[in-house]
Amino acid sequence: MRYHTTDPTGLDPDAFERETLAELNMPDEIVMRHRSPHFGHIFSGEGYSAGYYGYMWADVLTSDAAEAFAEAPGGFYDAELARKLVDNLFAVRNAVDPAEAYRAFRGRDAEIDALMRDRGFPVPE
């Protein structure tokens, strides 16, 4: 995210990465498997970046739906909620707008909070 809030003029990606990791107190024991320039394809064109957004939104939906099951009386094996999932999302396929289908399943729009909790980020109350 710091790349998106930094003026790229004259930016040295290697130095920027090292300085940012130092500011974040990244442990030396955790090495970077992929360097920042490896991800240029995510931001260099509309196609892949839109696809990547799609991946992230799928993670939001999955996490939010999983929390619905975690909160259900039968947990992850709750038959009533599973039926709602099948009837409102899987069975209708593309015959219903996906946002409407999700609302019919969950009773509300998907929220990012579940994904943030899954990834260990604090979620404001």
H or E element that contains 51: helix 46-71
How many degrees, rounded to 5, is the angle at CA 58 between CA 53 and CA 61? Answer: 130
**Tens of pLDDT along 17-50?**
999 999 999 998 888 888 877 776 666 666 666 6
Q: How far is CA 122 from the centre of its chain?
A: 15
Nearest to 90 by CA among 102, 78, 80: 102
Whether pLDDT at 87 is above 90: yes
Question: What span, in angstroms and rounded, lies between the C-alpha atoms of 20 and 35?
Answer: 13
Q: Which two structure tokens, joined as six digits, stand for 51?
A: 């696809």
Tell me if the pTM is above 0.85. Answer: no
**Tens of pLDDT along 69-84?**
999 999 999 999 999 9
